[in-house]
C-alpha cells in the first residue's frame, strides 16, 4: 500500500489554509470598500456628454413632421477642495460644444465652438449663449454618494440664456433653479447601502417646470447587476429605468401613451469614478391643446463617459 507523505499532506493543508485566508481577506477588503465617488483636491476629470434625439409629430391632416437634435458637450471637473463632511467642491467648465438641429421648414443649424468658421443663421443667434456657457465655469458641491447639493450659476450665463431668440421654449432652463436641475442629471447618485447584492434597487426623482407642459417629474430606478470586467477594470454594473409624469398648464394636457427605457451604467468602485452611462428612451405622448390633439414620438439616446486627457475636447 502506498503511503502519503506527511510533507505532501502539510503542503495541501497549507494551500487550503492560504486559499481560505485569501477569500476571507478579499471579503474583508470588499466590505471595507464602499461604493462612493472619490475626489482629491487639485485633480481634474474629463467627461463627454452626447445626445441624439429625434421627435416625430403627427399633425393629422397636416401630416408628420420630424425634428432632430445632436449635441456633444466636453467638460472638465476641477476639484477645488474637500469639506470636513466629505463633500467635494468642484468647478465644472465646458471645453467644447457641438450641436446640429434639424427642424421642418428651416435650414439645418450647425454649431461648433472649436470651429474657425463663423456660425450662420440661427446658429449665430445661439452663439452668445454658447460663448457664455464656455466662458463661465460654475461651482458645484457634490456628496460622496454623487448627490449634487449646491450649484452656483454665474449671472452672465443666465442672462445670455434668457436673451436667446425663442428662449421661452427653454422654460425653466433659463432660470437658476432650472439650470441647477439640469446639472444634477450629470451625476449618478449611488445607493446608501455599502454592501450591494445583485438585484438591489434604489430611485431618484427630479422635477422641472416648463411653461408649455407644466411640471415634469422624472423618476429613475437603478438596479444593481453585479460586477463585470471591462478594458482590464472591474466595474459595477447598473441598469436604469425611467418613468415620466406630466402636469397640466394653461389647459394643455400631455398624456403618456407609452414609455420604454434601456441602458447601462458602469462605475469603477476602486477609483470612485463613473466610467460611462448610456440611456436610450422611447416615449409616445398625446398633447391636447384646446380641442386639438397632436401625437408625438420621442426617440433619444444620452451618453456620458469619462475621457482621457489627450482625447478631451477632440
Lowest mean pLDDT among 27-36, 48-57, 191-200, 258-267: 27-36
Using a 10 angstrom Cβ sphere, with 0-12 exposed, 13-18 middle and 19 or more buried, the burial of residue 239 is middle
The dihedrals phi and psi of 154, each to the nearest 5 degrees, come to: -65, 140
Spatial separation of the C-alpha atoms in residues 72 and 74, rounded to whole Å: 7
Average pLDDT, integer, range 226-234: 88
Average pLDDT of the chain, as a whole number: 79
Per-residue pLDDT, 311: 67
Residue 171 has pLDDT above 70, yes or no: no
Residue 225 cell numbers, joined = 447587476
The residue range of the domain holding 290 is 10-309
> Is 25 contained in some domain?
yes
Question: Across residues 150-167, what is the average pLDDT?
Answer: 72
State what percent of residues in the chain have pLDDT above 70.
77
21 φ/ψ angles, rounded to the nearest 5 degrees: -70, -30
Is residue 138 within 8 A of residue 183, CB to CB? The reply is yes
pLDDT > 90? residue 238: yes
Output 254 or 238, whichever has higher pLDDT: 238
197 located within any domain: yes
95-148 pLDDT tens trace? 898 988 888 877 778 889 888 888 777 777 777 777 777 877 889 999 999 988
Kindly tell me if the per-residue pLDDT of 248 is higher than 90. Answer: no
- Whether 169 has a pLDDT exceeding 70, the answer reads no
How far is Cα 5 from Cα 10, in angstroms, rounded to an integer? 9
Q: What are phi and psi of 93, to 5 degrees?
A: -125, 140
Judge whether 307 and 46 are in contact, CB under 8 Å. Answer: yes
Residue 5 domain flag: no
Indicate whether 3 belongs to any domain: no
Q: What is the CATH number of the domain that holds 289?
A: 2.30.230
Is position 4 within any domain?
Answer: no
In a domain, 166, yes or no: yes
**Residues forming beta bridges with residue 95, ordered by sequence position:** none
Least confident span in 33-42, 226-235, 250-259: 250-259
Residue 171 included in any domain = yes
76 within domain boundaries? yes
Please state the domain count of the chain.
1
Rama region for 176: left / alpha / beta (φ>0; ψ in -120 to 50; rest):
alpha
Q: Is 61 helix (H, G, I), strand (E, B) or coil?
A: helix
Integer Cα distance of 227 and 18 in angstroms: 25
- pLDDT at position 246 is 83
Amino acid at each position: 500500500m502506498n503511503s502519503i507523505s506527511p510533507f505532501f499532506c502539510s503542503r495541501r493543508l497549507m494551500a487550503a489554509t492560504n486559499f481560505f485566508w485569501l477569500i476571507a481577506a478579499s471579503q474583508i477588503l470588499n466590505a471595507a470598500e464602499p461604493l462612493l465617488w472619490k475626489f482629491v483636491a487639485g485633480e481634474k476629470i474629463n467627461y463627454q456628454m452626447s445626445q441624439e434625439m429625434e421627435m416625430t409629430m403627427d399633425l393629422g391632416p397636416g401630416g408628420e413632421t420630424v425634428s432632430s437634435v445632436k449635441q456633444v458637450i466636453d467638460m472638465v471637473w476641477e476639484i477645488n477642495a474637500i469639506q470636513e463632511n466629505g463633500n467635494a467642491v468642484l468647478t465644472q467648465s465646458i471645453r467644447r460644444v457641438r450641436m446640429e438641429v434639424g427642424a421642418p421648414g428651416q435650414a439645418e443649424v450647425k454649431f461648433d465652438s472649436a470651429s474657425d468658421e463663423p456660425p450662420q443663421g440661427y446658429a449665430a443667434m445661439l452663439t452668445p449663449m454658447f460663448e457664455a456657457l464656455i466662458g463661465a465655469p460654475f461651482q458645484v458641491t457634490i456628496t460622496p454618494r454623487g448627490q449634487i447639493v449646491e450649484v452656483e450659476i454665474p449671472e452672465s450665463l443666465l442672462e445670455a440664456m434668457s436673451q436667446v431668440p425663442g428662449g421661452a421654449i427653454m422654460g425653466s432652463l433659463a432660470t437658476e433653479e432650472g439650470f441647477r436641475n439640469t446639472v444634477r442629471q450629470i451625476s449618478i447618485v449611488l445607493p446608501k447601502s455599502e454592501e450591494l447584492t445583485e438585484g438591489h434597487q434604489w430611485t431618484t426623482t427630479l422635477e422641472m417646470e416648463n411653461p408649455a407642459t407644466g411640471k415634469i417629474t422624472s423618476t429613475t430606478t437603478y438596479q444593481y447587476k453585479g460586477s463585470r470586467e471591462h478594458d482590464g477594470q472591474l466595474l459595477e454594473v447598473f441598469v436604469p429605468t425611467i418613468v415620466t409624469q406630466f402636469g397640466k398648464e394653461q389647459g394643455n394636457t400631455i398624456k403618456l401613451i407609452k414609455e420604454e427605457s434601456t441602458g447601462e451604467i458602469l462605475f469603477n468602485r476602486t477609483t470612485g469614478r463613473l466610467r460611462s452611462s448610456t440611456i436610450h428612451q422611447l416615449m409616445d405622448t398625446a398633447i391636447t391643446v384646446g380641442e386639438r390633439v397632436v401625437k408625438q414620438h420621442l426617440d433619444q439616446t444620452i451618453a456620458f463617459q469619462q475621457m482621457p486627457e489627450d482625447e478631451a475636447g477632440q
